[in-house]
Amino acid sequence: MFKFDTHMHFDLYDDRKKILDYLEKAKSYTIAVTNLPELYERYRGMDKNYKYVNISLGFHPELLEQYEKQINIFEKYISEARYVGEIGLDYSDSNCDREKQKELFKYLILLANRSNDKILTVHSRRAESDVLDVTKDFFGTVILHWYSGSIKNLERAISEDKYFSINQQMVKSKNGRKIIEKIPIERLLIESDAPFTKGLENEYTVDFMNDIYEEISSIKRISTEELYSVFKNNFKTILLRNR
């Protein structure tokens, strides 16, 4: 089985080095996202001795307004960080300042767009249309993490060459399976979003991938062996794009 995780929060577990050591031993290619620039600053370099893990420069949309001053830290490290995330928009709180959030997200994209090799993992909860508007001219790779929006916006995202990271809760839900059915298999990637998903709250294990492979194999009507090959090629493709 080809093992990879394009969106997990290693820093939210107590023993971070244990997580990195485990991922290396499991040979699971992993994008370890952060929620704030100061967390990237704190943990950057922890991955330098690991082949399979890359720590990502993030600024979670629900934290943008509260920690706006940390944009200075984001600016400081954006040139060195090939992996950027978790960033995006989140309109699930009716009291959020959507315009302010969008303004800050646009600025993060502007900074990331100064280099064409960035790989973004993007949050879009209840803000899919605006996320697509902001990222439509981005030069690098956009991975929409845990997409849950409309089919109309899904079709737009597909037409704009976006990728989609799928977790074990998505493959078990009716809406998630409906979305997966619509996505071309060559645009699918795997994520855990650990520790926010069932079974991974307290301990991280790559076993979550088993359910994803099994369910997507069923949805797409191909063997798991074929799916391993497809996912390996998808992951390799995003790494080689714009290089």
Residue 62, annotated as binding a ligand = no
To the question of whether residue 7 is assigned a binding role by annotation, the answer is yes
What is the number of residues in the chain? 243
What does DSSP assign to residue 9? -
Contact 71, 37 (CB under 8 A): yes
Q: Which residues pair with 5 in a beta bridge?
A: 30
Ligand-binding annotation for 9, yes or no, is yes
Nearest to 238 by CA among 7, 35, 17, 27: 7
How far apart (Å, rounded) are the C-alpha atoms in residues 216 and 180?
8
Q: What is the DSSP string of 156-216?
A: HHHHTT-EEEE-TTGGGSHHHHHHHHHS-GGGEEE---TTSSTT-SS---TTHHHHHHHHH
> Whole-angstrom distance between the N-terminal and C-terminal Cα of the chain?
27
123 is in an annotated binding site: yes
| DSSP assigned state of 148 | -
Q: Which residue has the tokens 């990879």?
A: 4
Whole-angstrom distance, CA of residue 28 vs CA of residue 3: 5
Q: State yes or no: 60 annotated in a binding site.
A: no
Q: What is the DSSP letter of 151?
A: H
Tell whether 38 is in a known binding site. no
Backbone angles phi, psi at 44, to 5 degrees: -60, 140
Q: φ, ψ for residue 6 (rounded to 5)? A: -90, 0
Binding site, annotated residues: 7, 9, 86, 123, 145, 193
Binding site members for a divalent metal cation: 7, 9, 86, 123, 145, 193
